[in-house]
Structure 1
Amino acid sequence: MVFKKMLSAFGVGGPSVDTVLTNPNTRPGLTLDGHVNLVGGDAPASIEQITVGLVTRVEIEGGDTEYAGIMEFHRMAVSGPLQLAPKQQLSIPFQLPVPWETPVTDVYGQRLHGMTMGLRTELAVARAVDKSDLDQVAVHPLPIHERILDAFQALGFRFKHADLERGHIRGVQQTLPFYQEIEFFAAPQYAGTINEVELTFVTSQQGVEVILECDKRGGFLSAGHDVFGRYAVPHSDAGRTDWVQVVDGWLRETTSRYGNLRAHGFGAPHGHHGHRGSGMAGMLGGAALGVAGGLVAGELIEDAFEGDFGGDFGDFGGE
């Protein structure tokens, strides 16, 4: 009996958890629906809590170095304390709201190179090793995102890479501790002016803030430098605007500036703030992964998503 209790404490013969999503595809502002399926182990188990949370890979600056960490940025409790009998099967439904600022991972049916997203289920078991499960999630763009991305494609920009940067964009209201950068090689008609463009969406229920960072080429007597533009667009404009003309105007206005937006009152748009809380994940709304939790989630993501990071973003291609 003592030996069985020891095995149970190390997770041997304990309960198992498997989360099944009704549909792993979603969009910012919608939900992820599914069931957490439990199967009891060899002995009764006291479940303290069941939670689901969205996790992703974020680039983190530390001193002079930059490294990738796995961050949980949104969490919800599915169940409070419950008793699970030996071999008992239990299915618990849930509906997780997807934050409006959740980064896009898939465009035109392709995974953006550099993006990962997962739903992590955690089963907290009293006096035993916690159990977890990880499911891949695909976040698709909203109509306003699609129109702007379509315009970049129509203008001849080629997709390069996408990632998440930890920090806040100065002057922009954010709820998540990171922002997404979608990088493009310059289209031929802009090649004499800029090398690359980084596009950031900060989305809310009302609309989207569009931040452009253009790597501007140097001239005969001037060095190259980054220039920034910031534009607010309501969701209602998605279907009634000539987006090719709008995006072209944004780019020409942005590249006509010298330096950054300090003269316009924004400061350096991609300013980073310090950690809130401890560990690589910081704290967000009282729910976050510490260093150990982040590393475990990272291993799970690599195992579950290995081979699924690719995707060439439709006709944008990549190099």
Structure 2
Amino acid sequence: MFKKMLASIGIGGASVDTQLVDNRLQPGQIFHATIVIKGGDVAQQISGLDLALLTKIKVSGDNENYFKNHQLASWRLTESFEIKAGEIREIPFAGKLHPETPFTLLPVRNNQCQVWLQTGVDIDTALDPNDVDALDIQPTPVAEHVLNAMDSLGYVLFKADVEQGFLNTRAFSSTSGCYQELEFKPRSMGYNAVREVEVSLVCEAEQTHVLVELDRGFRGDGYQYFTLSNEASFGQVLEAFKANIR
């Protein structure tokens, strides 16, 4: 009876561990994992098992900005079952990352981008054990071309974050409820030059949409948007950015 009471407040109860085959992924990629549930000191009824893909987003408040967790995707892994004391149960799983999952492996010191998987166990009358696994999200090949194109045009990536909201243009719209901003500054500043460039990418299976915000000093701000094939070469990406950053 005492062990059951302790398990009900999370002491000596069941635990969960998600074991990823590889935590280095790209947006839209399929990942594989094994979810390991270990029974505690007593048998417990588990109401369900869920896995969620999360990122941290910046929210613009009335007085100041703040960060909160944002769910990009979720999966129901199991329905109700009982885990016996000391039992080990393994559940194989394959899921697909949201195509707009933010990149986290970026060549920038001020990188505020985080992505992780969180596994939660719903246990009747008990605290929810959970497991958090950080993901390293690599830029796609066309996103790598974008970074290299900006470098070739004389811009340095100085900040990356994820913001709340949707990107909407006449040609495309985002769907995840957040968007990543890659902020670039020129290596040298000329008269009437572009002072800052913010680039956001909306990745899809066959193409990548690009929204560019330009801070052009005396000429004012401006927006450009265009779409790149995911098969585009570096030269094609470079020419697209040359045509739209001016």
Q: Please report how far the alpha carbon of residue 105 of structure 1 lies from its aligned counterpart in structure 2 after TM superposition.
A: 1.0
Amino acid at match of 1:188: S
Shift of 1:189: 7.0
Offset of residue 225 of structure 1: 3.0
Offset of residue 135 of structure 1: 0.7
Q: 1:191 to 1:126 in 2, by over 3 A?
A: farther
| d(CA) in 2 for partners of 1:240, 1:201 | 16
Identify if the C-alpha distance between structure 1 residues 95 and 129 changes in structure 2 by more than 3 Å, giving closer, same or farther. same
Matches of 1:132 and 1:170, distance apart in 2: 35
The equivalent of 2:115 in structure 1 is 117
1:268-292 per-position Cα deviation (integer Å, ceiling 9, x unaligned): xxxxxxxxxxxxxxxxxxxxxxxxx
Distance 1:29 1:56 in 2: 15
Q: Retained in 1: the 8 A contact 2:109–2:159? A: no
Tell me if the contact between 2:145 and 2:237 (Cα under 8 Å) persists in the aligned partners. yes
SS at structure 2 position matched to 1:99: coil
Percent identity between the aligned chains?
27
1:234 is displaced (CA, Å) by 2.0
Letter in structure 1 aligned against 2:152 = A
Alpha-carbon distance, 1:240 to partner: 7.0
Question: Could you say which residue in structure 2 is the equivalent of 1:242?
Answer: 236
Q: Deviations over 1:239-298 (max 9, x none)?
A: 37433232112102xxxxxxxxxxxxxxxxxxxxxxxxxxxxxxxxxxxxxxxxxxxxxx
Question: Against the structure 1 CA distance between its residues 129 and 193, is the aligned structure 2 distance closer, same or farther, given a 3 Å change threshold?
Answer: same
Instruction: Describe the SS at the equivalent of 1:233.
Output: strand
Q: State the shift of 1:71 in Å.
A: 1.5
Q: 1:233 and 2:228 equivalent?
A: yes
Pair 1:111–1:188, CA change in 2 (3 A) = closer
Change (3 A) 1:191 1:120: farther
The 1:53/1:60 distance shift into structure 2, 3 A limit, reads same
Partner of 2:177: 177
- Alpha-carbon shift at residue 191 of structure 1 (Å): 6.8
When residues 188 and 89 of structure 1 are mapped into structure 2, their CA distance, relative to the original with a 3 A threshold, is: same
Which secondary structure state, in structure 1, belongs to the residue aligned with residue 245 of structure 2? helix
Measure, in 2, the Cα distance between the counterparts of 1:234 and 1:43: 55
- Which structure carries more strand by proportion? 2
TM-score by length of 2: 0.92
Alignment partners' CA distance in 2, 1:80 and 1:64: 43
- Aligned equivalents of 1:138 and 1:228: distance in 2? 30
1:143-197 deviation digits (Å, cap 9, x = unpaired): 1111111111122211111111111123332220011100011243767412111
Greater Cα offset, 224-233 or 115-124: 224-233
Extract unaligned runs of 5+ from structure 1: 219-223, 253-319
Structure 1 equivalent of residue 196 of structure 2 = 196
Equivalence for 2:89: 90
* Cα pair distance change 1:191/1:107, threshold 3 Å: farther
Q: What is the root-mean-square deviation of aligned Cα atoms in Å?
A: 1.9
Gaps of 5+ in 2: none
Q: Kindly provide the amino acid, as one letter, of the partner of residue 89 in structure 1.
A: I
Q: Give, as a single letter, the amino acid of the residue that structure 1 aligns with 2:44.
A: A
Letter in 2 for 1:232: T
Aligned length: 244
For 1:177 and 1:191, the matched residues in 2 are separated by: 37
Contact 1:155 1:187 in 2 (8 A): no
> How big is each residue's C-alpha offset from its partner over 1:12-54, in whole Å with a ceiling of 9 and x where there is no partner?
1101111111100111111221111111001111111111111
Which residue is 1:7 aligned to?
6
Instruction: Indicate yes or no: 2:166 matched with 1:168.
Output: yes
Return the structure number with greater helix share. Answer: 1
Q: CA separation in 1, counterparts of 2:148 and 2:191?
A: 19
Q: SS of 2:45's equivalent?
A: strand
The Cα offsets for residues 67-119 of structure 1, whole Å up to 9 and x where unpaired, read as: 111112211112222211100111111112111111111136x7871111111
The equivalent residue for 1:307 is none
